[in-house]
Chains A and B, each alone.
Chain A
Amino acid sequence: MTRTEGGCVIELRAKSPCDGLLPLSIGGVTLSEAAPGAMTCLMPYKGQAAALSGALEVACGIAAPAPGHSTVSDGVRILWFGRETLLLIGPEPAPELAQHAAVVDHSDAWAVVRLEGPGAVDVLARLVPVDLRESAFAPGATARSELRHMQAAITRLSADAFEIMVFRGMARTLVHDLRDVMESVAARAGR
């Protein structure tokens, strides 16, 4: 903390939600904290969904995804995040977006982790009731569901990689629950 005359200019150190808890690797499945950059919740006003999508295309190069999907391009990702709700991940939101939607910063609200490796889907199948078969949940698909009693957003990044988001305050529980199940899966597989 630096003190200057007539006032103080402090330095606030930032901590990530999973600070000190990750990474974790058990039986070939790894769990690591993602650093998604800015995360902005976008909720279009009445009749403005299409306009918002258009504005997003102009501002970040990609349009809004349909429910259950995500769109990606060049360091920018847009997740469908709930009823008439999108999550813009990566860049700060362009000011024009506020003409069409409520724009709310969620950059600090979520613990975001990446679960990867052969067996990742078996791990998730022990926590999430959603159909995770690739035919039902392909790369790019996203679901709002529960992960063992926690509200969560699950996105499939590839055949064996998933991004999981839960409330920041539940980061420790998320890691605990995933570790618990990773151990089971690894033991079954003899890894």
Chain B
Amino acid sequence: MRIGGEGLINRERRLKFRFDGREYWGFQGDTLASALMANGLRVVGRSFKYHRPRGVFTTGSEEPNALVTVGKGPGQEPNLRATTLELYEGLEARSQNAWPSVDFDVMGINDLAAPFLGAGFYYKTFMWPRAFWERVYEPVIRRAAGLGALSREAAAERYEKAFAHCDLLVIGAGPAGLMAALVAARAGADVILADEETRPGGRLTLERIEVDGRPGHVWAADIRAELAGMDNVRLMPRTSVIGAYDQGTYGALERLAPDVAARDGAPRECFWRIVARRAVLAAGALERPVAFANNDRPGIMTAGAVRGYVNRWRVAPGQRVAVFGNTDGAHRTASDLLAAGVHVAALIDARHGAKCEFDVPFYPGMQVCDAQGRKGLEAITLTGPRGTDRIQADCLGISGGWNPTVHLTCHMGGRPDWNAQIAGFVPREGAVPGLRAAGACNGVFSTQACLESGARAARAALEEMGLSVPEVPVPRAEDGAYDIQPLWHVPGKGRAWLDFQNDVTVKDVQLAAAENFRSVEHMKRYTTQGMAPDQGKTSNIGALAVLADTTGQGIPETGTTTYRPPYTPVAIAALGAGGRGRGFAPERLTTSHGASVQRGAEMIEAGLWFRPGYFPAGGETHWRQSCDREVRMVRQAVGVADVSTLGKIDIQGPDAGRFLDFVYANRFSTLKVGRVRYGLMLREDGHVMDDGTTARLGEDHFLMTTTTAAAGQVMRHLEFVHQCLHPEWDLRFTSVTEQWAQFAVAGPRAREVLNGVLDAPIEGGMWPFMSCGAVGLGGVAGRLFRISFSGEQGYEIAVPARYGAALFDLLVERAEALGGGPYGMEALNVLRLEKGFITHAEIHGRTTAFDIGMGGMVSSARESIGKAAAARPGLLGAEREQLVGLKPVGAVRELVAGAHLFARDAEAVSANDQGYVTSVGFSPTFGHMIGLGFLKNGRARHGEVIRMVDRMKGSQTLCEVQDPVQYDPDGGRLRD
């Protein structure tokens, strides 16, 4: 119910919103929770397991009950806390986990089944019949329980991520945080002040506390204004620092203000990675409840929440409000209620010998042991030395004390320390290097102490960073003592709730201990206490106190479980911002990309590169038609393919030749200038890493090529060899893959095509097979390599990439005039298969030079990478699976890559496995499919008929083992 008075809402700005389909009004400055409360709604959701009606419990991100879903469709977001959801015009929210409505929920029947649904029930019940668990029980239980749901549509909302660096990161803008930020900012340090709230002040925005002679929230706003005017300060409101990571890195989730997020192109949230030299954690403390029977009735909330709704949002959470606690906070609550004109039904102070100065019904030394009113609190039952009492109340504010928000200090594996004086855990110093705690999260609770603590923390950080510390007077504020008598649980009949979000009771924790799940880690997993999205913020300490009580160990001995990031939930869309659609990975395009796309080529991904698979010509509707035609075209006329994607590494220096001799299995220092040689590169374990051709352009100048896939890996390997193994060798190298656009021109008419573009035409014999050198094209300095991957007369022509697009067009135009044209990766694959040339399908990381028939290339005379390991027993000999060609010879004509090979009459079981197929393709040249594979002792079995078995498709093919090189074995077509 809304009451008068200023508060921190703007009554000039009314906002219309919808909840569960009904329209309501609120004010700017309201949260959804305060607006619902102002409109008299008491039940805002149903609990996870038992579907008990629940109401708002807190004012912050620790809220366990008021979870809602906002929006519909792709933008739908579940499990948002109504207490932190900023109200805006047009907000549409729905309660969760209730059907047909939150008021009447069919699944409320679960509450009656409670005896069967206690902790660990799924280990003890629903066991028979066995098959029913997976097919019946689990799906039903899963549907019956739960929180919010996603829309299942592809997300359309924009998210972003960003990086920030600073000297001091201050986490929390309450009194401690504001002081810390002020001191550091005045010292000239680069400061980031982050707070999950929309406005600074922390609890000062919820209490009637004065700082420096004025309302705390006014003081906070003044400090904020000063900080906002400083260039060295970045203010980050609505930003939750969710995790502390190594070396001063912090993760933070920023929610954009609703009006900003609504702009075109604006993101909804931003995930920040902040690197801070030092940090101050001023995260405050979270109030904990007391457990008693039915302490989860709608209308029961923390005492601090009562004060917050009354003071900040000017909402009376009830008309007859009772207060129950074990610190002076209970009295402050009564005082605030009276000041707001709200009737105080009772002030129950559990502390013995407590005194009260207000004119309210006072019950010292008593405890609340039960609450009545399923859909909304109606009455509470008290118990004490003098007996029981029943009081009518429609709202109860409870406080069992405050838990310092230590979480971030434990994100790197540390545990907090128990402080018996405040009956709470406090951070251990140095648990996160560079981070110090200040204020309430460090166990000091008066406002004065928090202010001083924040200033002190900043000073210490500044000193550590070698910055001078300015004189900053600490303002005056209340300095009350924290006089607590610990109370965790009031015994009684009925379930006493600990973890509201996962529906875990005191009885569940006691049951866990009885079943010998006595460690806090086991209790957590067995009962699921602390495992809900709220991560047990209002239940952890209470639960471990009950466990300690039950096991007879003290609280310190029982200890806490591990705190892990994120402190509050983070949408995966925020973590992965920018990675959607085209942003998923960089696209690497060749200079002929535009022309290929224009010609209708089907582009395929080769790592990050895009390459044309095939170029469909008029009338072609299936890729095989194009592929077959392109193969024939290259063999009979001429084809042009973009081969720019292969790695090209320019290597120069007096030791360049020596270096190549070391990284290649075969020798390169003997290669003559103007010649090209095929090279095989091994890993140190003797297996093939990559292959390619390397050209000698000058005495101390080589150009290495690698496969497209391994270009990066080879470059890294070369750097490793040079820097880590032989830094004394004098050579330098750099990648020139992007510098040169390179095109293969292959086929009997290749020379004719080239002569249409070269300044000086080539005649027979001028450029013998495996030669290279400089050429001119329209005055542009290019390079020509006489090499072939197709098995036809072949050249590769390279020009600086700016001319690539133009050259491709010219080459293709010329080729088409001669009955040829462009060809893609599919045809390239068939052409090389016909020649028995290998790709990474064959050198897949577990094959050696010996396996692929190149054992002879590994020079015996000198040392090279992988040579020692390649000679190990087991890597040579008849037992090895050796490269063979395969052709189908039976009725079945299909070969399948990945299928395994067996002796013709052997049973297709692992014990009889003799090898596998690596590459296959239909050969228009031979009129049937051909393949490459590895077969035990394959080189000695040419002519043998074996059986290829594909278990996936269930097919079998009889194949003849043959030499991998089937087309033009003598290589006559390659040479002049």
Contacts and interface: CB of A to CB of B under 8 A. Distances in A.
Interface of A: 1, 6-17, 41, 43-46, 84-85, 101-102, 104-110, 125-126, 128-133, 135-136, 148-150, 167-173, 176-177, 180-181, 183-184, 186-188, 190
Interface string B653-686: 1100000000000000000000000000000000
Nearest to B260: A188
A127 B162 CA distance: 7
Contact of B761 (A7, A110, A131): A7
Interface string B159-181: 01111110000000000000000
B780 A12 contact: yes
Contact of B588 (A41, A125, A170): A170
Contacts of A9: 759, 778-779
Nearest to B644: A169
B163 A128 contact: yes
Given A102-B652, A102-B731, 17 more contacts: A10-B810, A46-B730, A105-B800, A106-B734, A108-B800, A109-B737, A109-B739, A110-B738, A135-B190, A168-B738, A170-B587, A172-B589, A173-B586, A180-B578, A181-B578, A183-B265, A184-B267
A170 B590 CA distance: 9
A149 B585 contact: yes
A150 B799 CA distance: 24
Contacts of B654: 45
B578 A102 contact: no
A108 B738 contact: yes
Nearest to B780: A12
Contact of A168 (B758, B799, B801): B801
A12 B260 contact: no
Contacts, number: 164
B807 interface: yes
Nearest to A27: B265
B810 A12 contact: yes
Nearest to A186: B265
A70 to B, nearest CB: 18
B158 A150 contact: no
Across chains A and B, which 3 residue pairs bring their CB atoms closest together, nearest first? A187-B266, A43-B732, A183-B265
A109 B733 contact: no
Contacts of A128: 163
A39 B519 CA distance: 66
A85 B589 CA distance: 26
A13 B803 contact: yes
A10 B757 contact: yes
B757 A8 contact: yes
B759 to A, nearest CB: 6
Given A12-B777, A13-B806, A181-B160, A43 B734 contact: yes
Given A12-B778, A184-B265, A149 B586 contact: yes
B160 A184 contact: yes
Contact of A102 (B585, B734, B738): B734
Contacts of B578: 126, 148, 177, 180-181
A8 B810 CA distance: 12
Contact of B583 (A10, A130, A180): A180
Contact of B165 (A7, A15, A133, A168): A133
B609 interface: yes
Contacts of B779: 9
A41 B160 contact: no
A2 B799 CA distance: 19
Contacts of B799: 12
A45 B738 CA distance: 23
B263 interface: yes
Contacts of B757: 8, 10
Contact of A187 (B164, B265, B586, B590): B265
B273 interface: yes
A148 B609 CA distance: 17
A9 B757 CA distance: 7
A22 B677 CA distance: 42
B164 A108 contact: no
Nearest to B652: A102
A101 B164 CA distance: 38
B263 A107 contact: no
B474 interface: no
B264 interface: yes
B738 A172 contact: no
B838 to A, nearest CB: 26
B275 interface: yes
A41 B732 CA distance: 11
Given A8-B757, A150-B586, A85 B609 contact: no
Contact of B264 (A150, A176, A187): A187
A15 B734 contact: no
B533 interface: no
A7 B161 CA distance: 57
Contacts of B1: none
Interface in B315-364: none
Contacts of A168: 738, 801
Contacts of A132: 165
B165 A102 contact: no
Nearest to B256: A188
Contacts of B732: 43-45, 84, 101-102
B9 interface: no
A180 B734 CA distance: 32
B714 to A, nearest CB: 16
Nearest to A181: B160
A176 B801 CA distance: 21
Contacts of A15: 591, 802-806
B692 interface: no
A108 B777 contact: no
A134 to B, nearest CB: 10
B421 interface: no
B734 A129 contact: no
A167 B648 CA distance: 14
B898 interface: no
A177 B586 CA distance: 9
A45 to B, nearest CB: 5
Contacts of B556: none
B247 to A, nearest CB: 13
Interface string B261-277: 00111110000010100
